[in-house]
Structures are given as C-alpha cells and as structure tokens.
A = this chain, B = another copy of it.
Amino acid sequence: MTITLFDVPSKFEGQAFSPSTWRIRYILNMRNIPYKTEWIELPDIESRSKGLGIAPTGLKPDGTPFYTIPFIHDPSTGIYLSDSTHIAEYLEKTYPGPSSIFPHNTLGLQSPFADLFFSTALPALWKFIIPSLYEILNPASGAYIRATREKLFGQPLEEMTPKGALGDAEWAKFREGLGKVDVWYSKTSGPYLLGDTISWADIVVVAALTLMKVVWGEDSQQWKDISSWHGGRWGGLVDDFKKYTNVV
C-alpha cells in the first residue's frame, strides 16, 4: 500500500521545495516507506483538504481556519492527516525504524522544535527568499504567494528583498539566527542535535535548508554563504541527507 503525500509543485519538475513537506518526505525516504507525491497548487489546498475531511492546522489572520500542506493519506490505516509534527508522530508509531527519530522519550521535548527553529533562525530569511520562491512557482501558486505575502509585509515582491547596506545587515541577521541554532548543536557530541543519530530536530533543520538550496540553487551566492557558515555545519547536514532527497 502506498501513502499519498500532498505537496506543492514548482516549475522544477520532479523537485520539491516546501520545508514542511520535506520533513515528511525525508522520513518516508529514510524509512523506505512506499509513497507517491500528489501535486496541488497553493490556492487549492483549502478546498482539497475540506473535501478529504482533513483538519486545518491553524487560523488565518482573519480568524478563519487555515489549511496547509503537507497532508497524507495512508490507505493501510485509512487515515487522512495534516500537520507535519502530527504526521511524523503517526509515521513513527506506524512504521518504526531501526532507530527512533524521538529517541529516549524526547517526543515531548522535540514537539515544539519546528516552531522554535523557525522563530529563532528564520525571521530574516523570508524577505530574501519569498521573491525568489515566487519565480519558480507555477502561475496559480505564484499569484497566491504574491497576494498573501505582499499583504503580510506591506510591500510588493519586487521591493521586498532588502538591498545595499540594509541588505547586508539583514543577511547578517539571518546568519546570526542560524548561529543561535549552531550553539545548540555545538553542545552535543554531534553531528546531529542528539548526537550520532538523526532525530526530528535535524529533519526540521535540513528541510528548511533544502528550501534554500532548491530555490536558490547550489551554485548561488546565497547557498554558498549558508552552506559555509558555522564551520560548514549547514552544508554538511544537507550533504548527510542527500541519500534521502528522492522525490517520487
């Protein structure tokens, strides 16, 4: 039986960018769990989720339910499930691997990690990457990103990325955010956050780095910067996950 993983496509056929969906795809690939991606454009997520009876994962700024990818359908249990943390917990329970991604009773401690990582490391990233992401999206998802992000930041996409001295300062801020996470990593015997086995926290980090590498490309100055920061920690982690980057 094959799990269906719902994800958002781009102009790069056979490639994926969503950092939340990459979390789940990495787990599926690591565990060799059979799955197939079903591609769905951003403005169709809400109606598709409602049609399948999939729960919203939060609220929009106007207080109405917010539906997000990833969500999965697993015919072997009949489940339809949204929210990457919930899906990870489900996969861990249903398809346990040789080593747990929540080892030593760390599920509780790791469960807020995705939000913590985003709020610690990524606030300065969005104004740089959203206009670049827009360029690789298909028209329907592109229009959705333009409308929602221009409203959020109060700026047209074309003026969103800070330039010149401000750009340098904001890029340095992004590096500083990742630097805080580097401090967490440096407190363990590494290379992973819990030592020598991959856990949910690493998957969250690498999935976000994968967004950057896919959107900007590995030859871009942005990726050259990021992958070299903090002793090459981020480039090294992404390399470690290379064997799990298949998109099916």
Whether the Cβ atoms of B107 and A104 lie closer than 8 Å is no
Interface string of A100-132 (1 = CB under 8 A from B): 000111111111110010001000000000000
A185 interface residue per 8 A CB criterion: yes
CA A178 to CA B106, docked complex, whole Å:
19
A201 interface residue per 8 A CB criterion: yes
Interface string of A132-176 (1 = CB under 8 A from B): 000000000000000000000000000000000000000000000
CA A235 to CA B108, docked complex, whole Å:
19
User: A106 is contacted by which of B89, B106, B186 (Cβ under 8 Å)?
Assistant: B106
Number of interface residues of A (CB under 8 A): 26
Interface SS majority for chain A: helix
Whether the Cβ atoms of A109 and B110 lie closer than 8 Å is yes
User: A187 is contacted by which of B111, B116, B184, B194 (Cβ under 8 Å)?
Assistant: B111
Q: Chain B residues near A193: list those with CB within 8 A.
A: 108-109
User: A104 is contacted by which of B103, B110, B183 (Cβ under 8 Å)?
Assistant: B103
Q: Chain B residues near A201: list those with CB within 8 A.
A: 109
Interface string of A185-198 (1 = CB under 8 A from B): 11111000111000
CA A104 to CA B111, docked complex, whole Å:
17
Whether the Cβ atoms of A109 and B105 lie closer than 8 Å is no
Q: Taking the nearest CB of chain B, how far is it from the CB of A85, in angstroms?
A: 10
CB contact under 8 A between A109 and B189, given known A104-B103, A104-B104, A194-B104: no
CA A110 to CA B116, docked complex, whole Å:
12
Q: Taking the nearest CB of chain B, how far is it from the CB of A190, in angstroms?
A: 9
* Chain B residue with Cβ nearest A195: B105
Whether the Cβ atoms of A185 and B108 lie closer than 8 Å is yes
CA A113 to CA B120, docked complex, whole Å:
12
Whether the Cβ atoms of A113 and B109 lie closer than 8 Å is yes
Whether the Cβ atoms of A183 and B111 lie closer than 8 Å is yes
Whether the Cβ atoms of A111 and B194 lie closer than 8 Å is no
Q: Chain B residues near A112: list those with CB within 8 A.
A: 116, 120, 180, 184
Q: Chain B residues near A107: list those with CB within 8 A.
A: 187-188
Whether the Cβ atoms of A105 and B194 lie closer than 8 Å is yes
CA A89 to CA B188, docked complex, whole Å:
12
Which of A89, A104, A120 is the most central at the interface, judged by chain B CB atoms within 10 Å of its CB? A104
CA A189 to CA B109, docked complex, whole Å:
12
CA A194 to CA B184, docked complex, whole Å:
18
Q: Chain B residues near A105: list those with CB within 8 A.
A: 188-189, 194-195
